[in-house]
Structure 1
């Protein structure tokens, strides 16, 4: 086993650990661990809400989820010799749920969860159709996931980190805050908000204390969106065997990671849409000096996906175009066309006995494929959602006999404001 450089004790909160991580982006958050190019090492990661979500049949914890405190990240890791302008090469050697802990109160101890966020608490990709909070618990058996809340479905998880990235420079951080602040100013009272500004409340900043803590907390960027440093990209293909090339903006790169997922559909469309869990990740790091300029990677990582995905051979695909539910034509709106494709898939699954919420959970957690299928034929963008048919216990394909009806069981727990 690689050397464990960032241990976490499942019995203690994130802030009471041997090493304290962070939940904001800032160049002045100290790196508690140093690694060298060529090193392979193990990192423990906490699930993104640090144990606030429980293995039960209530969605009140999703409704009340402490968003100000996410994501709890392991790191930063200082990579010896890394300089601004370099590319940091990160290989995902292995990853999985919390090792040797197959039962317990923390997600990753034999189980994980998917949540649909209420509109008032951030919403989801389809928040207009699903404005309330819902939760599904998934049980792990080896690489398989099943749920008492979504019966008749079983699939192999594509385990991956939802979030990994390098620290921004002071200049880049200032750019983020300025452009996101300008966006918020266009509609400051919107629910859900257009963006999340710096917020000192619930900030975790490693070993910083006192005045320095207060300064950084007032400047640091929230970790919710992906940005030029990588961050919360939620790419399901970041699985074992993946090699990522991250731009370096500060000395040492200051690499961080977290938000592990047992599985996820493309887009993580319920917002808390993957199967969230804590666990471990083994990484190997190296450096390409001057690589940002050499390869034109001045922002946003490039990556080579791993080859450990489950191999599905049959799919049922749904398409959508950029026309609103009210019949309004939008110009090449790929966000809207993907929403419509997802809604078509949900409507289809309800014909087999699933509730709309159960169908939505399937699209968020199972390894669906989402694609931009046409972006040039004015005025309609076309997006498609590919649903692997092998994950279902029944035959989903249309036939003259009509859809087989499943037993929806206890359903997905709901909590509203």
Structure 2
């Protein structure tokens, strides 16, 4: 017998705000956010999602919306979804939730996305000290391919994936998150040398009632006020999975998530048409609305059996990700190396972040010789299917990182040669000047 059509458990209407949806969306992690739907294991179900900003970024060539975006309100997640076994019993703390991605894509009629870098004074990014102003590129989809009027001469297949898949934390885990991130926020500038190199980023994003949406919990009630002051922001990935931004989690992939509360309370969102390793512009993937068709299994007692705590409690675990068989194939790459020496020439000790920053900057500078602006290449390397690697982490004092760029995404030969071609024009005729503020 043919399988049934996946059941739509979380619909979205792109004409409505995230909090106006039939099943209201949420943008925080907290065990008290009630589920909006429930599913049983082995059932294939469909979840629809708005883009991570909830429609704040528009399909135009101005970056004013990026500069003015309210980052207190992102990401908007669909769920939570309560997971039951075949007998109707909810998943239990200590279980492992296996979430298989059966299908995914953009929502029909909304086949476009955007890549952006944030302003220095509003979020910043990995290279904010080099690119302090907000920029934006719009991408249009043709089947599996994407192209952008703001970055001409480039076309590539997307490996579509959700940026966020996670379970709800327990109260104990939530307290661990808030305590350790508050410590970084309060003392990080004194303790962390990396802050001197990536100096313009917020050190942490602590709980805040500003921009908070808690799904079915009505704003302004005593329950909302209490949870909003405790609920964790969705910006970083944590023990529950969350914002891991692993670009290879596409069709056929499987995520093994720890279960911390009864029912697991699975949430997902932040759909990407494509992303480069690291999503370096912070809003660096091709962000879009979209859908997932998922299937779940419950592995009883799987946390203890398969996940080894890397911390002082059994809660200090991390998910396992199984990459699916579907991905673009490239045969030729240009690879850029970086070492842990910063732009001032100062040596850092085995610092992979500094090494990766150097690799990215080397790639941007090189590709700008082919008729592109450096801002265009910053956005491109955030969202194209490039591959980042920690190539060496043991040879003191230099960590070595590499960034491999597939050469076939360009309509010209970007390999070193005797004479560099002019390449695409980046003046007013391409709209690129309007990309910058």
Answer whether contact 1:135 1:413 (CA < 8 A) is retained: no
Report the Cα offset of residue 51 of structure 1: 0.6
SS state of the match for residue 121, structure 2? helix
- 8 Å contact from structure 1 (residues 121, 192) kept in 2: no
Contact 2:51 2:270 (C-alpha < 8 Å) held by counterparts: yes
Instruction: Return the offset for 1:12.
Output: 1.1
1:296 offset after TM fit, Å? 2.4
Change in 2 beyond 3 A, CA 1:98/1:297:
farther
1:329 to 338, 347, 353: 347
Aligned twin of 2:211: 202
- Runs (4+) of structure 1 exceeding 4 A deviation are 187-191
Q: 2:287 aligns with which of 276, 290, 307?
A: 276
State the alpha-carbon separation in 2 of the partners of residues 240 and 378 from structure 1: 40
What does residue range 298-377 of structure 1 map to in structure 2 within 5 Å?
298=309, 299-377=317-395
1:89 to 91, 98, 101: 98
Stretches of structure 2 that go unaligned for 5 or more consecutive residues are 85-89, 191-198, 310-316
| Aligned residue number for residue 245 of structure 1 | 256
Distance 2:163 2:303 in 1: 23
Q: 1:405, CA displacement in angstroms?
A: 2.5
C-alpha contact (below 8 Å) 1:72/1:258 kept by paired residues: yes
Matches within 5 A, 1:99-248: 99=108, 101=109, 109-186=110-187, 191-209=200-218, 210-248=221-259
Aligned to 1:104: none
Distance 2:99 2:201 in 1: 34
Distance in 2 (alpha carbons) for counterparts of 1:297 and 1:286:
20
**Pairwise CA distance, 1:340:** 0.3
Q: Residues of 1 paired with 2:422 and 2:327: CA distance?
A: 29
Which stretch of the first structure deviates more once superposed, 130-139 or 297-306?
297-306
User: How far is 1:193 from its partner?
Assistant: 1.9
How many angstroms does 1:297 deviate by?
4.7
Q: Distance in 1 between matches of 2:377 and 2:176?
A: 39
SS of 1:121's equivalent? Answer: coil
Unmatched segments (≥5 aa) in structure 1? 102-108
Preserved contact between residue 164 and residue 257 of structure 1 (Cα < 8 Å): yes
Mapped to 1, the partners of 2:116 and 2:434 lie a distance apart of 10
Partner residue, 1:45: 49
**Counterparts of 1:232 and 1:413, CA distance in 2:** 31
1:410 CA displacement? 2.5
Match of 1:76 in 2: 80
Q: Tell me the CA shift for residue 191 of structure 1.
A: 4.4
Corresponding residue pairs, total: 408
Aligned-pair Cα RMSD in Å: 1.4
* 1:289 has 2:318 as partner: no
2:424 corresponds to which residue?
A: 406
* TM-score, normalised via structure 1 length: 0.96
Would you say 1:262 and 2:280 are equivalent positions? no
Q: CA deviation at 1:121?
A: 1.0
Q: What is the CA distance between 1:122 and its match in structure 2?
A: 1.1
Q: Distance in 2 between matches of 1:400 and 1:381?
A: 32
